[in-house]
Each structure stands twice: as C-alpha cells, then as structure tokens.
C-alpha cells in the first residue's frame, strides 16, 4: 500500500538523481533504482501515488502532460517550448552518456539511442535528431569529444 514515505523517498531520489535536469518524465521515474526491487505494477502504483502527492504539495511541478520538474526549474521550461529538440534534451543526453560510457570509450548516436529509456512522447527518429544535435552541442561545450565517423567519447571530469 502506497504511503507518504514513498513520496518523501521519491523526492529525495529526484533531487539526487534527476535534480540536474530541467525536466523528467514519469517513465524516467519508473527507471529509478529506489523501487527496482518490486514488480512493475507495484512500482507503477507506488509512483503514481507518490507523484500525485508531490504534485498536490507543490514539491514537483507538472510542465505538461508528460514532463515534470522541480519548482526551482519550472520557469526555465518556457525557453524549451520553442527550442529545438537538441537543446531540450542536451542535459538528458549528457547525463545518459556520462553514466553509460566511461571516459574515452567511443560511441555513436545509435549506441546512445539503444540505452535511452522508453520515452513515449518521442519517436525513434526524434530521439536520433535530439541525440545527434545534443552531442554536437556537447562537443562544442567541451563535454564530449567528436571523433571521426560520427563517433564521440566522454571527456574526463
């Protein structure tokens, strides 16, 4: 049975694991380790209850039907409404590649897409477009290195 402790634990996990992102989805929450030990339907029900509790208390904000964020990041969302996908997903792509690929390991767009958790509001083609553009932005920012043949590697800290 869901309880308020789940909501508090979820908020702590959001702050520690997703707090650096401008927004996250309910699917992102399903992938968190905090409830990884329980059956999918139980995890879904626990998260549904916890998210509703956090929304009602103002601890998280619903940006639109699929995106959630922490209150301190909500005002940044306006810039994403008209921003290209590559800008919208830059932080998420960096988080994914920096936790998936060790520094110096080569990867390409298809490698990143294969590790991308299900995202119902983006098609596979949109994920490729977002990833390709985000990696180019990250290379310009010095967070990843662009290599030959459209491959990249994460730079050390």
Q: What is the pLDDT of residues 4-17, one digit of tens each?
A: 888 999 999 999 98
Q: What is the pLDDT along the chain (157 residues), one digit of tens a residue?
A: 456 888 999 999 999 988 887 788 888 888 888 887 888 888 889 999 999 999 999 999 988 777 888 998 877 666 555 567 788 888 889 999 999 999 989 999 999 988 887 666 666 777 888 899 999 999 999 999 999 888 999 987 6
User: Alpha-carbon distance 47 to 24, whole Å?
Assistant: 14
CATH fold of 4-79, please? Arc Repressor Mutant, subunit A (1.10.10)
User: Alpha-carbon distance 72 to 93, whole Å?
Assistant: 21
CATH number for region 85-154: 1.10.10
Domains 4-79 and 85-154 in one fold: yes
Cβ neighbourhood burial of 151 (10 Å; 0-12, 13-18, 19+): middle
For the chain, the structural domain boundaries read: 4-79, 85-154
Half-sphere exposure of 122 (CA within 13 A, CB side): 20
């Amino acid at each position: 049975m869901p309880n308020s402790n789940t909501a508090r634990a979820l908020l702590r996990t959001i702050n520690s694991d997703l707090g650096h992102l401008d927004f996250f989805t309910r699917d992102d929450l399903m992938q968190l380790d905090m409830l990884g030990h329980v059956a999918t339907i139980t995890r879904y029900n626990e998260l549904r209850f916890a998210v509703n509790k956090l929304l009602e208390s103002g601890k998280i904000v619903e940006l639109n039907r699929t995106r959630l964020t922490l209150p301190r990041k909500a005002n940044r969302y306006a810039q994403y409404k008209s921003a290209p996908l590559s800008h919208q997903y830059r932080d998420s792509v960096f988080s994914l590649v920096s936790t998936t690929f060790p520094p110096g390991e080569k990867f390409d767009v298809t490698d990143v897409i294969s590790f991308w958790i299900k995202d119902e509001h983006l098609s596979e083609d949109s994920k490729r477009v977002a990833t390709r553009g985000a990696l180019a932005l990250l290379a310009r920012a010095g967070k990843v290195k662009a290599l030959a043949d459209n491959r990249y590697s994460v730079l050390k800290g």
